[in-house]
Chain A
Amino acid sequence: MLKIDKEACIGCGICEDTCTFSAIEVVDGVAVVGDNCTLCGNCVDVCEVGALSIDKVEKKVVADLADWTGVWVYAEFRDGRVAPVAFELLGAGRKLADQLGVPLSAVLLGSGLDNNAQDLVAYGADKVYQIDDPALTHFTDDAYANVFEDLIREHKPEIVLAGATAIGRSFIPRLATMLATGLTADCTALAIREEDGALMQTRPAFGGNIMATIECSTSRPQMATVRPLVLKPNGRDDSRQGEIVKVTPDPARLLSRVKVLRSVREETNEVNINEADVLVAGGRGLDSEKGFEMIRELAGLLGGATAASRAAVDSGWVPYPHQVGQTGKTVCPKVYFACGISGAVQHMVGMQSSDTIIVINRDENAPIFDVATYGVVGDVFEVLPKLISRLQDQRAGEGDN
């Protein structure tokens, strides 16, 4: 409960202004808390006279935290391959583990795992726990969560990371509930707090309008799902040595109350904008479907793919699979062109980690310039045709040689 010391409160209203949830109001010179209070504690930090406090009854620490050690990564395996996000997690997990001075392990569950565990070692794992069983051919929440729970209870890792994919976001919440521990969904950044080694988990909320950093202070393991394509994998290193531990689970734990009758892969004729090295993205500034043609042309010349802001998708110039951002895809190509895109947070969260970002916008104050590696203040209808024709000339020149 948020407590307000009525004697100390001077009614300055700083807390009222700070409250993200409009839960505090100054009435008759004293701050009053409403039902919207989420106890986030921002007001307590800003109060200059120390009138606010959060009544935190000492929480029972569920387990002896020091018993839990090591960083674990869930290596999602489906259709005979490890999901790319697993390698990203190994890259991030490696840093966390090194900082903590503990080993990094991967957990590989499925059927027909072949040599995939070795790949996980090459990408940074010191150890791989693998369960290869026909009962795990199809993903089911209970069987996957059961066997994972047993591994965690036996080995007590302090951190468990998984990809925020359909599978990760489905069974990891169940696993966290089984273990009576905290889980932070869809993180975009992870860090270790120097003082106590706690995992700081940062994620967007309110549709990307705000970011929140979250900790799990009284229970273990600290668990997070991490958004794909945000963190970077380390390079493959086949000389790395690691231990592969083959685990045979209790058969009862492999039983699922959910039956997968059929697993269907939908042949999408969608371009996969996640895989292109060059993405040329257009926004409302292209003005029309015809204007958007320039985006396709430039992408074609650079051997890249087209992407778009939601405004361009909503205008019907380009279909949804090309949308980048909070409600579209997260991408990180070598080069990202943002043409006629203003740079709403919902767009920027999806492309900010691109290696190089080239911005073309006529408004020099457009927020998109904040993430630009190279910025051109100019009209897309002038800049793009010139760029396109110069590239065409170059290509023609190459053809002559």
Chain B
Amino acid sequence: MKIIVCVKQVPDAKDVRLDPKTNTLAREGVESIMNPFDRHALEAAVVLKEQYGGTVTAITMGPPQAEETLRDAVACGADEGVLVSDRAFAGADTWATSYTLAKAVEKLGEFDLILCGKQAIDGDTAQVGPGLAQRLDIPYVAYARKITECVDGVIRLERLMDDGYDEIEMGMPALMTVVKEINEPRVPSLKGKMKAKKMQATVLTAADIGADPECLGLQGSTTQVVKVFSPQFSAERCMLTGTVDEQVDQLLVKLEELL
């Protein structure tokens, strides 16, 4: 079975802070990590490979330093890494990203399954997986929480819904996005780390994947960011005064009015 896992390099969200003075993200020392949901997708792929045989290819679209994430993926069990990288990709929204990834996947040839994370923690959009499936014209399921079996070209799984779960069956090739309930990702083995050190990622540029420049990066994006700002919170705030007893009295009066 040939499995492709889409991994994205993202800033570690808990480090991302807004500088109240300049209203910008203080990124100093912010670490880049593999998108946490993608780690679960990778683990699911490696488990499938261990069960049914095959190969796992990690693919990422991003700047040259995203290669680090591919190295991490190889350390955790991927066989190879593909870096889709070109200045022309800058400013891509999910529409342009799914186009670029689809072109790269087509370039890689036949596959049975594509796994994505539920969403990337920087954009939180959860749109690239479904968009990629549509562009490749393959069936997909979002929010997979369990893979039950995978035989004769048919995969069975459970998808998480707001009020329970659905048991699903679909023919391959197919795509799914996974939630973190699906597994507990392993830590890299010593052997994996050695392999990662030696890994040579395949690099694909816009020309290599035969992409239409009109469809890439900002140019190819269907959405544009108008502005970025820090969350604003405001209320007609009324600070109560007096002794604690007096304040409690006032609260009781307000509660009486409200309820």
What is A's interface to B at a CB cutoff of 8 Å? 1, 17-22, 35-42, 54, 56-57, 59-60, 78-79, 138-139, 141-142, 145, 165-167, 169-171, 173-174, 176-178, 180-186, 200, 204-219, 256-266, 277-278, 302, 334-335, 343, 345, 348-349, 352, 355-358, 367, 369-378, 382-383, 386-387, 390-391, 394
Contact = CB atoms under 8 A, between A and B. Distances in A.
- Interface residues on chain B, size class: 35 or more
Contacts of A139: 161, 166
Given A141-B140, A211-B230, A212-B225, A375 B255 contact: no
Contacts, number: 280
Given A185-B124, A210-B230, A367-B233, A374 B90 contact: no
With most chain A CB atoms within 10 A of its CB, the pick from B93, B134, B139, B223 is B223
Interface of B: 11, 13-14, 16-18, 22, 24-25, 27, 63-65, 87, 90-91, 93-95, 98, 121-127, 129-131, 133-135, 139-143, 156, 160-171, 214, 217-219, 221-240, 244-245, 247-252, 254-255, 258-259
Contacts of A383: 244, 247-248
A372 B91 CA distance: 38
Contact of B168 (A186, A213, A261): A261
Contacts of B65: 35
B166 A356 contact: no
Main SS at interface, chain B: mixed
Which has the most chain A C-beta neighbours within 10 Å: B130, B142, B219?
B130
A204 B16 CA distance: 13
A174 B133 contact: yes
Contacts of B247: 376, 378, 383
Contact of B162 (A57, A165, A378): A165
A210 B167 contact: no
5 contacts: A142-B139, A186-B125, A213-B226, A374-B239, A387-B248
Contacts of B165: 264, 266
Contacts of A386: 244-245, 248
B234 A40 contact: no
A114 to B, nearest CB: 20
B222 A141 contact: no
Given A176-B95, A213-B225, A57 B236 contact: no
A358 B251 contact: yes
A206 B141 contact: no
A257 B139 contact: yes
A216 B166 contact: no
Contacts of B252: 387, 390-391, 394
